Amino acid sequence: MSNIRSWAISTLQYEFNSDAFLTQALTHRSASSTNNERLEFLGDAVLDTVISEIVYRQCPQASEGELSRLRSALVKDTSLAALAAELGLGEHLILGPGEKKAGGHRRASILADALEAVFAAVYLDDGYDTAARVIGTAFGDRLENLPDPADLRDPKTRLQEYLQSKRLGLPTYEITDTSGKAHKQSFTVSCSIDILRKLTSGVGTSRRDAEQNAAEIMLEELEHSG
Q: How far is CA 21 from CA 34, 76, 103, 115, 195, in A?
A: 11, 24, 24, 13, 51
Catalytic residue among 40, 44, 99, 113: 44
Q: Which amino acid is at 113?
A: D
Amino acid identity, position 42:
L
Residue 44 catalytic? Answer: yes
Q: Active site residue: 40, 77, 113, 116, which one? A: 116
In Å, how far from its chain's centre is CA 220? 18
Our answer to whether residue 174 is catalytic in this structure is no
SS3 163: helix
What is the CB-side half-sphere exposure of residue 62 using CA atoms within 13 A? 23
C-alpha dihedral sign at 82, 86, 87, 88: positive
Residues marked as catalytic: 44, 116
